[in-house]
Chains A and B, each alone.
Chain A
Amino acid sequence: MDNNLGVEDEVIKTALSASLEACANPKELPFVVRKVDSSPSQVVVAFPGSWSPNDWFAGDGEANSFGETKINDKKLPSLRSLRVEGFAKVNEAFMARFLRILEDSNQTFCKEVTKAVENDKQLVFSGHSSGGPIAIYATVWFLEKYIRSNEKQTSRPPLCLTFASPLTSDRTFCHAVQREGWSDCFIHFVTKLDIVPRILFAPRSSATELLLEIPPFIDPHHKADEKKMASLFASVMKSVSCVANSAACTLKGSKHTLSETMSRFIKLSPYRPCGKYVFCTETGRLVIVKNPDAVLQLLFYSLQIESETELQKRAVASLKAHWTYKDALDKSLARHNVVRLEKLRELPLSSDDPVDIQVKTIGAALNDLNLSELARLCLRAAGEFEKQKEHNRNTVKGNKDAINKTLKALEEYRTTCRNDGVGYYDAFKMQKKEQDFKANVKRLELATIWDEIIEMVRHGQLPDEFEAEKEWVDLGTQFRRLVEPIDIANYYRHKKNEDAGPYMIRGRPSRYHYPQRWRENAEQLDRDSSGESCFWAEVEELEDEVTNKRPWKEIENRVLTLEKNLRKWYDKEEVEKDVFLEDSTLVKWWRSLPDDHKANSCIKGLMPS
C-alpha cells in the first residue's frame, strides 16, 4: 500500500537497520551496503555516526561557534547562490568526515558507487544520527557528479534517507538544492521529541554538553541527573526558540528595523532544514512536511513544554527519543497513518475537533504534534510566504508578453540599422535619428520591467527554482544580448565612466549580471565566461587606453583575451555579424592597434576588408 512517501516501506526499514548497524560498529567500516529484498533495483549505502565532539565541531571554535565552513566549491560547485557571491555553508567536521570516506586510498566508496551506477541501480544513501549528514553530503556529491554533470552517467537520481540527523547545512544550501530541483531526493525522519535534530541550533558550548549525555540513553534503563538534563535541555531549546522566532518574524513580514539590528548582535545558527521531513508522533502518525520554513517552526514548536513542571520529564524523554526510531517507524509504517501537511495557509487554528473529515485528520495531526495557536499561525505564515512567492512568479510571468514585444521592436531597430550599414551599437551611441531616440525609450521600458524582476530575485521573493527555469534563463540571455550593448553605448555616450568608473566595475546593472549567472549555471559554463553581451564595455575601455597612449605591453593581454573571446562567441553565433561592420567602434579601435599584432590576430578574418 502506498505510504504517501514515494518510497517503499521495505526500503525505509532496510535503510534504518543498515544505518543502525553502521552506527553500532563505527570503527570497522566507513559504510554499510545493503540490498533491499523486495526491490532489487535499489542499493542502500549507510554511514555510521560518531559521538566524539571533535566529529561534530572542528577546530577550537572560539570564533566559529556553530562549526560551519564554506562548502568545497570544487567538488560541489552548484551549491551556491546565483545572487551574491556566496557558497553554501556546511558543518566542517561532518564534511571532513565525508571527504575522508570519499578520498579514501582504497576508493571503496567510489567503487561501490560506480558499481551501482553501472548496474543501473538507484543509490539510497542513509544514516542515523550523525551518520545522517554524511548521507546528505554523499547525495549532493552524487547529484553533482552523476546527474548534473555534462557527462551524465545515470538518469536515476539518488535517494537520501536520514533518521534523527542533526541539521548541518545552511539556507543557501537549501536554496540551491531547491533551485536545482533536487529536494525530492531528501527524506528526513524525525521523532517528535528527539533533541538531536535540533541540537545544532545551539552553539558549541551548550550543544557539546548535552551531546555527551545522549549515548548512555541507548539503554532504556539509564538513570541520569534529571535536574542537570533539564538545564542542558533548556539551554539548547532557548537557542532553538531564538532561531525559530527570528525566522517567524521574517515569515510574517515584520518590517521592524530593530530585529535587523538585533540579529547583528546575536549569532544565530546558520543551519536550516532542507528536503522533505517526516515527523513521527507518539501515536504512530507520520506527518510529512515539505516546506522548509514550516519544518523549522515545527522543530521548535513540537518540543515546547506545557508548563515549567514538565521540563525535567520532557528533557529526559527527548534524550531517550533519539534511540526509539526502530520501534517508532515499525509501528507507524504498519499503521499507514500518514498525513501530509499541505495547504498550510488553511490549517485550523483551534485544537477543537473539527467536523470536516479532511480537516479532522489534519487537526488530529496538529494536536499530536502539540501545536499551540501561535505555532499554527507560524505554519500558516510559512504557507503564506510560499504562496506570495508563487503569486510573484505569476505577476512576473504576466510581463513576458511586454518583454517579448519590446525585444521585437529593438530587434527591428537592429535590423534597420544594419540595413543602413551601421551597427545598432554605434547608431545608438550617436543618437542621430528619431529611431535611436525611440530605441532609448524601449531600453528604459525593458529596464523598468527587468529591474523589478531582479529586485524580487534579490530579495528572495520568487520561488527558488525561478533562476533555473529554462524560459527565464533563455529570455534573460536574449534580453542581455540585445539590450546590454545599447546600455553600454548609453553609458559611454554620456561618459559616465568619467563620473563613476568603468562600466563593468561601477555601472553594470544587476539586470544583466544576474541573467548571465543564470545561464552560466544552467549550461554549466565557467564563471564569467558568458560575457558576450558586455564585450563593448571592454572595447570602450581599451579604446580609451589606446587614446591615452597606454604602452602596448600593458594592454596586450587584455586585447588578446578580448579577441579570443570574440572569436569564440562569433563562432558560437553568440555575437552577431553587425559588430564587424565598417566604421563600427570595434573595427575602428581594432585598426588602431599595432600592425604586427593585427597581422596575427584571431579576429583578423572577421574584419571588413
Chain B
Amino acid sequence: MDAEASPFETSEMLGTFLASTPLPKEAWRVCSTANAMGCGAFVVEQVGGVGYVAFSGIQQLPVPDWDPNRSMLVPLDAASHGPFALLKCHYDGEEPVMVHAGLLHLFLHYHPRPDLQSQIHSLLAETKLIVITGHSIGGSIAFLAALWLLSYLKSIFPPISVLCIGFGSPFLGNKSLSRAILRESWSGSFCNVMSTHDIMPRLSLDHSLVPTPQWQALIRFWYTYMMSPNSINFANLQLTEEDKAWLFYLAVANMERLVHAEEGSGGRSFWPFGNYLFCSEEGAICLDNAVSVNKMMHLMLRIGSPNCITEEHLKYGRYVERLPHQSLKRSFMEGDLSESSYEASLSMALNSMGASRQLSIAPIAKDCLKMTRRMGRSPNLKAANLSIKLSKIAPYNLEIQWYKACCDDSNEQRGYYDSFKHRGASKREFKINMNRIMLEAFWDGVVRMMDRNELPHDLHKSSKWVTASQVYMLLVEPLDIAEYYRSGMHHKKGHYISNGRARRYEIFDQLWIERVCRKKLGNRRTRYAGSTQDSCFWARVEEAKEWLDKIKRDSKPANRAPLWDRLIEFETYAMKKVEGLEVSTDVVAKNSSFSLWLEGWRASKSQIYPLKDIN
C-alpha cells in the first residue's frame, strides 16, 4: 500500500459527522416552512448567527412559457447576463456550462424579485454564514441561487461562507458545470441530501416525463403532502402499480445511461456535482466523486422497488430527526468483520447504506467505494510529484536569469532578447536554448495534465503554482519570441501574438488575472523591474518594427494613416511601460531592438508628419 492512501474508508465517517450536526435538521425546518407556504414561495430567516434562505419545493413545472422544442439543457452564460459571470469553461473543446432550462427559468423568475433581493442583502449585512436550501425542485433552485451568490461574493471581503443543502433534488447541470464548480473550489458548498431510494434526484425532468399523467399524478400527491405533511392520504394518489413501475424504470434507465456515459461521449447529459449525502434507515454516507455518486445511485435502485417511489421523496423530515439521535447508539454489524481497517470500514459504509445484507450489490458497491478512494488520491500524488519536478527544474530558470543579467551587464548593451535572437554558434546560448526547451516541456506537461483533469482542481489557485508559472513566463517567453522571429516563423505563420503564442502562456495569463483580491501596491517603482511586466512586449516590438519599415517605404497617405495610428499607439503604450519602470533594463539597453526602433521611429516621425508631432 502506498504511503498516501488512508487506511480507512472515510465516506461513512463523514456521513455520520454531517448527520450528527444540527445543520440538516435546522435547514429542513426552514424548508418545510417554505413548502407549507405553497407554490413559488421562499423563506428568509436568521437563527443564531446563520442566515437561512429556503425555496419551496412546490413549483410550476413545466414552466408556463416553456418551449417544448427547445433543448432541455441551456448554456448558463448565454441565458443570463450577469448572475453567473464566472462560470465559464476554460479550455477549447469543452462543452459550455449548461443547466436545466426549466429550473433556470424558475430561478431567473426569483432572482429579480425585490423582496428576495432585499432580504438576502440584509442577511449578507448581518451574518457571515448563509445556508441556502430547498426540498425537491426547491433544492435545485437553491443550487442556482448559491451559484449566483458565490459568484457575487467572490469579490467581497471579508468572505461570507455559503452552504447549499438540497433534499432529494433533481439533477441541475452538465459535466462542465460540475467541473467549473470544482475549479472554483466550490464543491464543499454543495450537498444534496438523498434518501437511498428516492427517484426524484435520479430523474431528468425532460419532455418525455414532465407532461405525462403519471408524473403529474405523482407530483400532485407530493405537493399535497409537502403543503400539509400531517394529513397524508394515500387515497389521493392516483397511480396504478403499472404507473409506479413505469416511473421507477424511467429512473433506472436514466441512471443506467449516466453510468455508462464515458468521458466525452456522454453528450448533453446531466452530471452530479458537489457532495451527495445518502441516507438510509441505518445511517448515512457522503460521496463527492461524481462517477461514484452515479454508480451508487444506480446500484441503490437495484435494491429498491416501484413501491418506494412515493414515500421515499417525503422522508427527509424523518431522517433529519433520526440521524443525530442515531449516532448516540452503538452501531451493530452483522456477520464477520475483517480485521483489516479498510475492509472493515468498507463494510460499515455498506451497512450505513442499508446495503450490507444485499448480496446482489454489496461487492459492486464495495468496488465503487474503492474506486473513489483510488481516484481521489491520484491527483494529489501527481501534484506532489510535480512539485518535486518543479524544484528540479529551478536551476534552468536560474541559468536563464543569470544569462539575462550577463547580457544586461555586457558591453554590447543589447539585452538578452537581442543577444539570444542574433546568437552565433556559441556554447552559452546553446545551453540557454536547451534550458528553454526543457522548461517548455515541463510546463506543457503541466498544462496537459490540467486539460486531462489529472491534477487537483484547485491547483491553479495555489499561489505557489501561479507565481512559478508567472516567473517562468516573464523570463522565458521573450526567448520564445526571439526564437520565433530568429527562425523566420513569422513569414510562414504570421506574427507571434496572434499566430505563434503557445497555449500555456495564454492559460498562465488567465491564471494570473484570475487571482482574486490582489492588493495593488501604492508605491511607485524606483528602478526598472526585474522582468518586463508584459511578456509579449518583444513581440509587439517586432510588429512595430515591421510597421516602421512599411511606413518608411510606402508614401501613400492612405496606406500610411493606419500604420501611423498603430505606431503611435504602440509608442504610447511602450513609453508608459518604460516611464512606469515596468520594463526590465534589457528593453532600454542602448543597442536593444526597442531602443533602435524608438530612435528610428522618432527620426522618421518628424519627417513624415512634421506638423502632427507638434500638435
Contacts and interface: CB of A to CB of B under 8 A. Distances in A.
B188 A261 contact: yes
A349 B402 contact: no
Interface in A424-462: 431, 437, 440-441, 444-445, 448
Contacts, number: 174
Given A249-B13, A264-B129, A441 B398 contact: yes
A256 B14 contact: yes
B204 to A, nearest CB: 25
A237 B327 CA distance: 9
B189 A261 contact: yes
Interface residues on B, range: 35 or more
B286 interface: yes
A258 B286 contact: yes
A500 B525 CA distance: 11
A381 interface: yes
A215 interface: no
A266 B14 contact: no
Interface in B13-67: 13-14, 16-18, 20-23, 50
A259 B339 CA distance: 28
A496 to B, nearest CB: 7
A256 B10 contact: yes
Contacts of B529: 495, 498-499
B125 to A, nearest CB: 18
B593 interface: no
B327 A241 contact: yes
B348 A262 contact: no
A262 B21 contact: yes
A262 B188 CA distance: 8
Contact of B521 (A254, A306, A374, A500): A500
Interface in B327-367: 327-333, 336-339, 341, 344-345, 348
Contacts of A238: 20, 22, 324-325, 327-328
Interface string A494-522: 11101111000000000000000000000
Given A255-B376, A262-B163, A501 B521 contact: yes
Nearest to B528: A495
B348 A377 contact: yes
B402 A264 contact: no
B348 A253 contact: no
A237 B329 CA distance: 10
A495 B398 contact: no
A28 to B, nearest CB: 40
A264 B127 CA distance: 12
Prevailing SS type, chain B contact patch = mixed
A253 B10 contact: yes
Interface in A193-239: 234, 237-238
Interface string B477-501: 0000000000000000000000000
Contacts of A445: 391
B327 A245 contact: yes
Contact of A377 (B327, B345, B527): B345
B17 A373 contact: no
Contact of B328 (A259, A305, A348, A444): A305
Nearest to B402: A437
A548 interface: yes
A496 B8 CA distance: 45
B341 A380 contact: yes
A404 interface: no
Contacts of B185: 257
Contacts of A373: 331, 333, 337, 344, 348
Contacts of B521: 498-501
Interface string A245-282: 11011001111111111101110000000000000000
Given A238-B328, A377-B348, A256 B21 contact: no
B418 interface: no
B163 A261 contact: yes
A377 B343 CA distance: 11
B376 A257 contact: no
A349 B10 contact: no
B410 interface: no
A262, A266, A547 — most chain B CB neighbours (10 Å): A262
A261, A308, A437 — most chain B CB neighbours (10 Å): A261
B170 to A, nearest CB: 20
A394 to B, nearest CB: 12
Nearest to B338: A349
Interface string B258-281: 000000000000000011000000
B439 to A, nearest CB: 15
A350 B339 contact: yes
A266 B286 contact: no
Nearest to B341: A380
B131 interface: yes
B399 interface: yes
A266 B21 CA distance: 7
B18 A259 contact: yes
A390 B344 CA distance: 25
A538 B548 CA distance: 47
A234 B328 CA distance: 8
A332 interface: no
Nearest to A303: B328
Contacts of A372: 330-333
B306 interface: no
A257 B188 contact: yes
B283 to A, nearest CB: 10
B192 to A, nearest CB: 11
A4 B418 CA distance: 78
A417 B395 CA distance: 22
A264 B21 CA distance: 12
B211 to A, nearest CB: 36
A381 B129 CA distance: 31
Interface string A344-357: 00001110000000
B163 A265 contact: yes
B17 A259 contact: yes
B14, B380, B525, B527 — most chain A CB neighbours (10 Å): B14
A494 B581 CA distance: 13
Contacts of B14: 249, 254, 256, 258-259
A246 B17 contact: yes
A237 B328 contact: yes
A106 interface: no
B304 interface: no
Contacts of B117: none
Interface in B286-334: 286, 288, 324-325, 327-333
A556 B329 CA distance: 69
Nearest to B527: A495
Contacts of A241: 20, 324, 327-328
Contact of B344 (A234, A257, A377): A377
B530 interface: yes
A547 B581 CA distance: 17
A304 interface: yes
Given A248-B13, A261-B161, A373-B337, A444 B395 contact: yes
30 contacts: A238-B324, A241-B327, A249-B10, A249-B13, A249-B17, A252-B13, A254-B10, A254-B14, A256-B14, A256-B275, A258-B18, A258-B188, A258-B190, A258-B274, A259-B18, A261-B161, A264-B161, A264-B163, A265-B23, A265-B131, A305-B330, A349-B337, A372-B331, A373-B331, A373-B333, A373-B348, A374-B348, A377-B348, A441-B394, A498-B527
Given A370-B330, A498-B526, 15 more contacts: A248-B13, A254-B10, A255-B10, A255-B376, A257-B187, A258-B188, A258-B286, A258-B288, A306-B330, A384-B341, A444-B394, A444-B398, A496-B530, A498-B529, A498-B581
Interface of A: 234, 237-238, 241-242, 245-246, 248-249, 252-262, 264-266, 304-308, 311, 348-350, 370, 372-374, 377, 380-381, 384, 391, 431, 437, 440-441, 444-445, 448, 494-496, 498-501, 544, 547-548
10 A-B pairs with least C-beta separation = A257-B188, A253-B6, A245-B17, A494-B530, A254-B10, A448-B391, A252-B8, A261-B188, A258-B275, A241-B327
